[in-house]
Structures are given as structure tokens and as C-alpha cells.
Amino acid sequence: MTLIATPRRTFCALVATTASLLAVAVHAHTATPEAPAAPQVQVAATTAPRYAAADIERAFSFMDANKDGRVSREEAAGFRNVAKHFSAADTDQDHALSLEEFESAMNRPKTP
């Protein structure tokens, strides 16, 4: 009895195991569709001013040694980064930076 029953039981177990393996395989294959990519939430940080207006004004008046409301090239000379970008910041080409010019230069998005 046992000599006959044992192989059959083994066979049945093997079939059951194979079936469940197949089921798992099929399930794994069908149940994982490509999940749609989560929408990338663009943080508004790229458009928000990088410097607060108060900080801009403080820096501007610090550079504006003669307090005429403009930063001349001479006044900017002591500030390496400002001097370096002076021409680009001086959009009206009057050889002085207004607060508006300075502010827009400071908050201009960096281009690679």
C-alpha cells in the first residue's frame, strides 16, 4: 500500500506545488502593471525670490557708500561678486545700479 501511495502523494504534492508556483508567477506577472509615474510637484522655489527684499536693501545701502541711492561701479568695486556682474546687472547701462537693478540681478535665476 505504502509503496504505491507514496509516489502518488509525492506526485500530487508536486502538482500542487507547481500549480501554486504558476499561480504566483502569473499573479506576479499580471498584478504589476507599470505604475504611472507620480506627478512631479514643482516647488515654487525656482520662481520665488532667493533673497528677501529687506536683505537686498540692506546690502544695497551697505554698498551705496555715498547714499545717493545708486551703486556706482567704484562703489561696487569692493564687492567682487557685484563687480563681476556689474555690467550684466546694469540693465539701463547708466554705469550705476539702482536698487531695482540690484534686486533683479540678485534674484535672477542662475543660467548654467
Residues that bind Ca ion (CB under 5 A): 64, 66, 68, 70, 75, 90, 92, 94, 101
Distance of closest approach, residue 42 Cβ to Ca ion, in angstroms: 33
Distance of closest approach, residue 69 Cβ to Ca ion, in angstroms: 7
The DSSP output letter for 37 is P
Q: Are 97 and 70 in contact (CB under 8 A)?
A: yes
Distance of closest approach, residue 38 Cβ to Ca ion, in angstroms: 45
Distance of closest approach, residue 79 Cβ to Ca ion, in angstroms: 13
Q: Smaller CB distance to Ca ion: residue 55 or 92?
A: 92
Q: Smaller CB distance to Ca ion: residue 55 or 94?
A: 94
Q: Smaller CB distance to Ca ion: residue 30 or 73?
A: 73
DSSP calls for 37-86: PPPP---GGGTS-SS-HHHHHHHHHHH-TT-SS-EEHHHHTTSHHHHHTH
The DSSP output letter for 96 is E
Q: Smaller CB distance to Ca ion: residue 101 or 103?
A: 101
Task: State which H helix or E strand residue 97 sits in.
Answer: strand 96-97
